[in-house]
Amino acid sequence: MAEAITVLHGRLIDGTGAEPVEDSAVVVRDGLIEAVGRADELAPGVEAEVIDATGRTVMPGLIEGHAHVSGKHESQRRLRLTLQRGITTVCSVSANTGGIALRDAIDSGDVRGCARLLAGCIVSPTNGHVRFRDADGPWEVRKAVREMVQAGADFIKTAASGGFWGKNEVCAMRNYTYEELAALADEAHAWFRPVVVHCHTQPGLGNCIRAGIDQIHHGAFIDEEAVHGIQERGLHYMPTLSVTCQRNIDALSDQPWQTREMTQAQPVHREGVRLAHEIGVKLAVGTDYPGTPKTWKIGDRTWWELWELVQCGLSPMEAIVAATRTNAEAYGRLDELGTLEPGKRADLIVTSADPLADLPAFQHAESISLVIKDGVVEFADEQYRQHYRIREPQPPDRPQD
């Protein structure tokens, strides 16, 4: 059945970085964007349901690029609350095989009302910072990548350095060697799967860049050489600044082995992002979502990351593009996600706050008025709910397996 919706009269930010369009129209049909333009040029079809967005902003749903969603019972609730905060796609760097099942259940419509999940599977060294499929040496690494692709991974996640998290590790510990990273990237690319790497320091950063790892995540102790290397190779850098922001450090004050190193990294991390922005590195948005409930409610952290990026020199518009178009590109999904352009999946939000003037307003759930995913209204606030029928909520969460 053709389901058509026209979102009318809002200020449109389309995710491409183009100037906003005042008094816009977005026509949605059968789950896809059919047309985008000015309201006086695009009359809604007679059968289309009209959503009046006068006085509000219409923009693409955000893509959270570095999440931890495994497919366990709690995951469905998280992804439902996430969607209600205007984050329509979540890329889980530790989805692993449980997350693949949840991804498929969401894609098929068996599990409704959740953000879309892209499932990353971990291949990493014995005793590495991240763990799922331990593999050592280039040939075992290749085998592990093949296993994860066979299981249904959307992308491969690995580690090239230690991290803040473990009590017995520091960021400067090397994880995979160059030879292992090169084998991993080559094998994943042979199956057309992107690779994302957890890496904070040298020598890991240089190893990843040389190996052609698609996305470098974190880089809390990134140096100039690495920033330039990422730029020269055309790789994506997802800094996850929220990890070393003061709000996060304060929340983890009972874990001094983490906060000591985070405090050291804080200015280095930001200096690196400032330089990356200046020289035109492709900056992407991820957070280590959802973070500790001691300071972040579900969804807070992704929006907060945009604000962190703005403080490192990005314009609010550049930060929005990073969380939409650039993230879609980084994960090889730009043909279907990331911008409001004809032919793309209709993932969009209507917001009462002004993202170009007041990003901190998005720390409040009430700033999101309406969320459409795949052309279906999945969330509407009180005001819209009076005019719009939301499909029945699904029965209480059940464990996935």
Which residues make up the interface to Zn ion (CB under 5 A)? 288
User: Two tokens at 244?
Assistant: 């070393």
Cβ contacts of residue 30 below 8 Å, gap of 6+?
Answer: 2, 3, 4, 375
SS (H, E, C) 136-186: CCHHHHHHHHHHHHHHCCCEEEEECECCCCCCCCCCCCECCCHHHHHHHHH
Least Å distance, CB 328 to Zn ion, is: 20
d(CA 4, CA 271): 46
Q: Is 288 or 305 the residue whose CB approaches Zn ion more closely?
A: 288
Question: Which residue type, as a one-letter code, is found at position 9?
Answer: H
Q: How many residues comprise the chain? A: 401
Contact of 24 with 36, CB cutoff 8 Å? yes
Least Å distance, CB 66 to Zn ion, is: 6
Least Å distance, CB 93 to Zn ion, is: 6
d(CA 332, CA 335): 8
Q: Is 51 or 298 the residue whose CB approaches Zn ion more closely?
A: 298
Q: Is 103 or 142 the residue whose CB approaches Zn ion more closely?
A: 103
d(CA 258, CA 252): 8
Q: Return the closest-CA partner of residue 177 out of 163, 164, 190, 158.
A: 158
Q: Is 102 or 346 the residue whose CB approaches Zn ion more closely?
A: 102
Q: Is 71 or 113 the residue whose CB approaches Zn ion more closely?
A: 71
Least Å distance, CB 288 to Zn ion, is: 4
Q: Is 113 or 291 the residue whose CB approaches Zn ion more closely?
A: 291
d(CA 44, CA 288): 40
Cβ-closest position to Zn ion: 288
Contact of 179 with 145, CB cutoff 8 Å? no
User: Two tokens at 315?
Assistant: 């314009």
Least Å distance, CB 68 to Zn ion, is: 6
Q: Is 61 or 290 the residue whose CB approaches Zn ion more closely?
A: 290
